[in-house]
Structure 1
Amino acid sequence: MKKLVAVCMVALMALAGCSNNGSGNGNGDANNGGSANAGKELVVATFDMNGDFHQSAGFGNSSYDKNVRDLIHGYSPVAFTSEGEWIVDETVIKELVKSEDADGNTVYTWTLNDGLKWNDGEPVTADDYVFAYLVGGSPQLVAAGASETLGENFVDYEAYHTGETDVLGGVKKVDDQTFSVTVSKDRLPYFWELSFMRVYPYPMHTLAPDATIESTDEGSKLVGDLAEAVNKFGSDYRFAPTVSCGPYSFISFENKQVKLVKNDNFAGTWDKKTPSIETIIVKTVNATLDVDMLVNGEVDIVQGVVEGDKIEKAKAAENVQESTYARNGFGNVPMHTDFGATKEKEVRHAIAYILDKDDLINNILGGYGTTVNSDYATAYWTYQVKKAELDSKLINYAFSIDKANAELDNSSYKFEADGVTPFDVTKAGEGYYRHNAAGEELVITHLGTNDNPVTDTIELQLKQNAPKVGIHFNIERTDFAGLLDAYYYGATKPEGERKYNTFNMASNFDDAPDPYYSSYACDFAGTPSNATNTCDPELDEIIQRLRHTPSEDTETFADIWVEYQVKWNDIMPMVPIYANQYYDFADADLNGFNTTPFASWAQIICDMSWK
């Protein structure tokens, strides 16, 4: 349930197709075996992948890795449709029984359909789901560096997660095809309740072949070496999950490209579709050349294009089709709120004021975007119904040197180098910087990515504007993996190794956009699940009221959502830069290419086929 599917703002970021199970392809083509495209592999352009292809997001959540994960993992009891609706996946689940135990907790009992298989032909059983919870909730996984919270809403989770007991009380195996999970009554109501049930099975026969599941009325435990299983998962399997149960099987990740082949054992998506494209190559490309490569036939899909010149070039090409939609996220500059000068809210406000968002939108997006001022996507339903109220209540951080100086005058950085003499804004410029009473200079060090026009524009803007408000601005560059490491794991590094205050990123919202899991809850401060390391008790209280609104009470939810946005807008843990339309482009010969704010190309792979 994490939001921060991190997207580097690089661009501001064999048969073919998919078929209904046993009945041709999802677009009505009964057989394209005789077409010129028969056997053609699908080549998808992407940016730097981190190589974490496991089922969870506990070790990081790059959206480029997630596309691969969506292709190779499957069989969650619940699915999220391309229309944004949570449903029970009847391809996986034969029966769901929802009940209440003697203590008032809610019990979900799931019975699997017969015949579900891993790609190696082994059966998928209840053991694999229980095993997933035992690994995902284990203290051993935390010790391995993950911030996984799988099963945290179930009874007795905390005792298991902290190592107090080796029995996970809220998860039970009933028989080989049936397991149950018990949601603690203090976690309900929850606005996205069905999302609690999203879990992907882990291949127990691969990760713990000699172990068994022991399940009693007290819960479940692994009889075997859990630490060894976690080690296999965290050090080997997460990078090369060759045993999986999604529509595609992982073959390799070499030379910055992933090779996947069709999984013939895949039973189907929630709407009974199976893949027919035999081979997929997900290929890292230069962000400045991706559209050119598509036009030239070197790749077949380019995703998330936002730069105006690239959009116009793709639109003009006769061999290219488009799918466009309001992005379920926004571009931003996140800040570590626990480190250096960005600990202070006034400094964060000032940074927001000296970034000229309109200039970024015009120069990078070619005008294909709008400014935002808080933690929302314009595609989300609450924004649609609360836009006018929200706009009237939020601080508009439009470019202003004067307002930035006013904010900093209210910070601790209001002196010259002696820590006594008031800073004189009329002297502001290179070499004349703000200091606090201890004589510490106001320094902001930004980390961006290589060959990135957004990094270039941020550098130009802040080198020009930061001295005008007394900020000594520095910038460094790295690859995307380095950016993610510094951002997600900054708080875990020794004090002498930390150096970055700000980053250029973008965020896409999860299917259950719970802000508790999206870098702002005190419970996760200092972990990758709260990468900004924000901790504000008032914000936490609003978040809890928001998430525990009954799912049917949409009016109350929307009202609290506005309250959350107003508070977030004041705290400003990241500078929202833009909301925009996403343009996904594909070879014109690809059928079924209909991406949405809630469904990427990887999630609709079983709708696509070659003409």
Structure 2
Amino acid sequence: MKRKKLLAVLLASAMALSMAACGNDAPADSSTLSDQSSGESTPAESSSDETPAESSSETTGDVTYENKVIMGNTTDLTGDFRYPGWGTSSVGASDQDVGRLTIGYSTQEVAEDGNMVWNDTAVKSHTETENEDGTATFTVELNEGLTFSDGSPLTAKNYLARILAFSTPVAMEAGHPAMVGNAFVGFEEFKAYTGEEAEGASKEFKGVRLLSDYSFSVTVSSDYYPYYFAYTYAGISPAPMGLFLGEGVDIMDDGNGAYLTENFYEKNGDSYVKAAEIEANRYDLTKYPYSGAYVVSDWDASTKQATMTINPEFKGNYEGQTPSIETIVYVKLIQETQLEELTTGGTDILGGVTGGKDTTAALAVVDGENFSETHYQRAGYGKIQFDCDFGPTMFQEVRQAIAYLLNRTEFCQTFTGGYGVVVDGPYSPDLAPWKAIQDEVELIDYSFSPESAKKVLEDGGWIYNSKGEPFVEGAEGVDAVRYKKLTADEANALDGANKTYASVSNTDGVTYATVEVNGEYYMPLAINWFGSTPNDVTDLISTTLANSSDLAATGMVIRSTTGDFNKLLGEIYREPSYGYNGVPTYGMYNLATGFSTLINLDTSYQWSHDPAWFTNSSNKLYDSYDIDFPYDIKADKLSYEEAVEASGDKLGMDYLSMGMVYTATTEEEFNQWYMGYVERWNELMPDIPLYSNYYYDVYNSKIENFHTSPFRGPAAALLYANVKGF
């Protein structure tokens, strides 16, 4: 699997970076598989206000309340609640919210301060043992008596089902990456097993053990241990066995490793029978029970509305907290009308309200009697994100120039209305590592400066016109922008995509395209930008950057295409099921990212040059420093100072991100690697942070004890809340 995401792939309770919109980009509740948050708001149909009638009611004074809360988000609900995102980063906030309300009993959960903690409700005991061969074994003993929503017992097999199922070729056929167990000893051999004995294949997963009905262990390969967040390897969520294995499949262990019974690998011709069953189970909300605080009792795909009711079998989260609110209705909200929905009863919660005008409008209804609010600074930021493997944005100087051409201080002030600050790298002001290095870190100052933008472009070779002649400011037509002469490697990047690169959304009748002059390729400084809509951030980028006279005068053009957020995800991840047509087109996007836990600072493998890790990188940036001085996870580890000296002070993104978690063993060492990582990131600018805003959760005052934080969003907070009178 994507190694750095082992925790989140295994932790079904850790389903987040919140993927709500910038303009309503709600905070994350728990750990995630990715640093990629879902981005800006998306258009959609209206949501139905219909809710079930079975909720009880209570009279408080002259007001009668149902023990029910309506909440929502501007991102689509898709019904992908059982395993949101199918183990990838392409997952929306709404699906994650439903997932985190219906999946429970993970061995580890996210505390309110962002740290992962052991879940004493589920776990009786746990141990970590370092083995002589450099591996490490994590053993977990479960509390007995836990059950799913249908009363069926929850045992060790339920915790191993996902690891085993999604480490097989069967899962690959079902459309899953099938890399969940890749950090455990014996993964390659287990994944190679097809149901038939073969050299290099094993039906037994050596590093995954079923020890008893209520205990299991996982042994981490020496390739992935020591690891700074090593304890999270044992962060695993349970699931009904049939959900991920199909009906009739069992988990066995004869002493050499857990394995699946042979019917899991049954074939019909060349296809695995269980692959289709597992794929269908992804969206089946009724066949299998739930482990979390709520169950999905109704799902209406046409109105994008999910109804959840209390799971009476649920014994609590890591603090033993059980729900009080009987019914939660999750609806699709539309950004332009969501405040009206709050004041007219279409929703009881507006989560993560941000942006100057939206925040001002929402706070105007807060009176303490009918509506209340809670707020905090976001653990993350809105951003411009670049594809760095083709087009103009593959070049560092172009990304830097765009940063210089955007007045981020003014942008932040305008968008947040003063309810936010500018950040300069991948950090959150609330995370301890940033607090430790903030006074020492040395970052490039990307203050607004068209002159600096022009200089970095010229230094980077953007000095030509479409004929291969010197660029002349003020020229018209295709020569209004700068061109760069490409090296052979640059021209052939991404299977030659740069040779045919061209601008799209050419509303002015001018198409900028790579030209061949005397056997040399010249690329135009024309950026194809995809922005989600409707979205205030998209609108503001358009006016302050894409259509600015400063950008035009510099010899650059940004061509804008807008669409819904799923389409944006499809382009970023080049995922056909989200609308990607197979041709890389866009180099710039606007969306958001977050740090829902400290573990989100782990970006190992995100910057790897190995094609096997391609889907782990949303930026697709391959640092040249890593070619000259690569990180070898199997070699003797160098300290940060030793690595700096050995590399000639040229440590790349992959080396730094790997060193943070595979070399560092102490907090001081981690912070040292992290500072180097932030500095290199700031130099390469794979993203441009736009603002780190304050979130305001505005809610109906009938809800009591509703407290959110940077690491506990509205969905998770409802577990602690109650409706007045109940």
Supply the AA of the counterpart residue of 2:291.
Answer: C
**Within the alignment, does 1:252 sit opposite 2:291 as a pair?**
no
Say if 1:371 and 1:577, in contact at 8 Å, map to a contact too: yes
Identify the range of structure 1 (239-248 vs 285-294) with the bigger mean alpha-carbon deviation: 239-248
**2:460 alignment counterpart:** 411
Say if 2:107 and 2:119, in contact at 8 Å, map to a contact too: yes
Identify the range of structure 1 (425-434 vs 271-280) with the bigger mean alpha-carbon deviation: 425-434
Say if 2:264 and 2:274, in contact at 8 Å, map to a contact too: yes
Residues paired across the two proteins, number: 590
Q: Determine the C-alpha separation between the residues in 2 that align with 1:281 and 1:575.
A: 36
Deviations 1:388-447 (A, max 9, x none): 222xx111222222222222213343210112x222345589861112332332221111
**2:678 alignment counterpart:** 565
Q: 2:593 aligns with which of 487, 503, 507?
A: 507
Q: How many angstroms does 1:248 deviate by? A: 1.0
**1:54 alignment counterpart:** 82
Where structure 2 has 5 or more consecutive residues not aligned to the other structure, the ranges are 9-15, 26-55, 194-200, 266-271, 486-520, 627-651
**1:5 alignment counterpart:** 17
Q: How many angstroms does 1:45 deviate by? A: 2.4
**1:243 alignment counterpart:** 289
Q: How many angstroms does 1:518 deviate by? A: 8.1
Say if 2:474 and 2:480, in contact at 8 Å, map to a contact too: no
Say if 1:337 and 1:532, in contact at 8 Å, map to a contact too: yes
Q: Determine the C-alpha separation between the residues in 2 that align with 1:539 and 1:594.
A: 37
**2:539 alignment counterpart:** 456
**2:401 alignment counterpart:** 350
**Within the alignment, does 1:225 sit opposite 2:264 as a pair?**
yes
**2:564 alignment counterpart:** 479
Supply the AA of the counterpart residue of 1:440.
Answer: M
Q: 2:444 aligns with which of 387, 395, 402?
A: 395
Say if 2:149 and 2:291, in contact at 8 Å, map to a contact too: yes
**1:604 alignment counterpart:** 717
Q: How many angstroms does 1:115 deviate by? A: 1.8
Q: Determine the C-alpha separation between the residues in 2 that align with 1:523 and 1:129.
A: 30
Say if 1:369 and 1:580, in contact at 8 Å, map to a contact too: yes
Counterparts in 2 of 1:608 and 1:8: CA distance versus 1, 3 Å: closer
Q: Determine the C-alpha separation between the residues in 2 that align with 1:526 and 1:154.
A: 17
Say if 1:515 and 1:521, in contact at 8 Å, map to a contact too: no
Say if 1:335 and 1:342, in contact at 8 Å, map to a contact too: yes
Identify the range of structure 1 (396-405 vs 154-163) with the bigger mean alpha-carbon deviation: 154-163
Say if 1:10 and 1:449, in contact at 8 Å, map to a contact too: no
**1:533 alignment counterpart:** 620
Counterparts in 2 of 1:535 and 1:79: CA distance versus 1, 3 Å: same
What secondary structure, in the 3-state scheme, does the structure 2 residue paired with 1:45 have? strand
**2:375 alignment counterpart:** 324
Q: Determine the C-alpha separation between the residues in 2 that align with 1:187 and 1:517.
A: 11
Q: Determine the C-alpha separation between the residues in 2 that align with 1:355 and 1:274.
A: 47
**1:20 alignment counterpart:** none
Q: Determine the C-alpha separation between the residues in 1 that align with 2:609 and 2:91.
A: 20
Q: Determine the C-alpha separation between the residues in 1 that align with 2:542 and 2:294.
A: 41
What secondary structure, in the 3-state scheme, does the structure 2 residue paired with 1:273 have? coil
Q: Determine the C-alpha separation between the residues in 1 that align with 2:401 and 2:436.
A: 30
**1:176 alignment counterpart:** 213
Q: How many angstroms does 1:568 deviate by? A: 0.8
Counterparts in 2 of 1:501 and 1:281: CA distance versus 1, 3 Å: same
Q: How many angstroms does 1:238 deviate by? A: 4.5
**1:442 alignment counterpart:** 525
Q: Where in structure 2 are the equivalents of 1:195-344 lying within 5 Å?
A: 195-207=232-244, 208-223=246-261, 224-226=263-265, 227-238=272-283, 240=285, 243-250=289-296, 251-254=298-301, 255-317=303-365, 318=367, 319-344=370-395
Q: How many angstroms does 1:510 deviate by? A: 3.9
Q: How many angstroms does 1:339 deviate by? A: 2.2
Query: Which TM-score applies when normalising by structure 2?
Result: 0.76
Q: 1:79 aligns with which of 81, 104, 109?
A: 109
What secondary structure, in the 3-state scheme, does the structure 2 residue paired with 1:99 have? strand
Counterparts in 2 of 1:65 and 1:265: CA distance versus 1, 3 Å: same
Q: How many angstroms does 1:6 deviate by? A: 6.5
What secondary structure, in the 3-state scheme, does the structure 2 residue paired with 1:258 have? strand
Say if 1:72 and 1:244, in contact at 8 Å, map to a contact too: yes
What secondary structure, in the 3-state scheme, does the structure 2 residue paired with 1:154 have? coil
Larger RCO, structures 1/2 (Cα 8 Å, 6+ apart): 1
Q: How many angstroms does 1:44 deviate by? A: 0.9
Q: How many angstroms does 1:329 deviate by? A: 0.9
Q: Where in structure 2 are the equivalents of 1:375-386 lying within 5 Å?
A: 375-386=426-437
Q: Determine the C-alpha separation between the residues in 1 that align with 2:434 and 2:68.
A: 39
What secondary structure, in the 3-state scheme, does the structure 1 residue paired with 2:424 have? coil
Supply the AA of the counterpart residue of 1:506.
Answer: A
Q: How many angstroms does 1:236 deviate by? A: 3.6
**1:371 alignment counterpart:** 422
What secondary structure, in the 3-state scheme, does the structure 2 residue paired with 1:497 have? coil
Q: How many angstroms does 1:156 deviate by? A: 2.0
Query: Which TM-score applies when normalising by structure 1?
Result: 0.89
**Within the alignment, does 1:578 sit opposite 2:605 as a pair?**
no
Say if 2:24 and 2:74, in contact at 8 Å, map to a contact too: no
Q: How many angstroms does 1:337 deviate by? A: 0.8
Q: How many angstroms does 1:313 deviate by? A: 2.6
Supply the AA of the counterpart residue of 2:600.
Answer: P
Counterparts in 2 of 1:198 and 1:523: CA distance versus 1, 3 Å: farther
Supply the AA of the counterpart residue of 1:520.
Answer: W
Counterparts in 2 of 1:584 and 1:238: CA distance versus 1, 3 Å: same
Q: Determine the C-alpha separation between the residues in 2 that align with 1:166 and 1:342.
A: 45
Deviations 1:453-495 (A, max 9, x none): 1111112221224322222321111112111122122699988
Say if 2:159 and 2:237, in contact at 8 Å, map to a contact too: yes
Q: 1:469 aligns with which of 549, 554, 570?
A: 554
Say if 2:22 and 2:354, in contact at 8 Å, map to a contact too: no
Q: Determine the C-alpha separation between the residues in 1 that align with 2:476 and 2:692.
A: 32
Counterparts in 2 of 1:523 and 1:425: CA distance versus 1, 3 Å: same
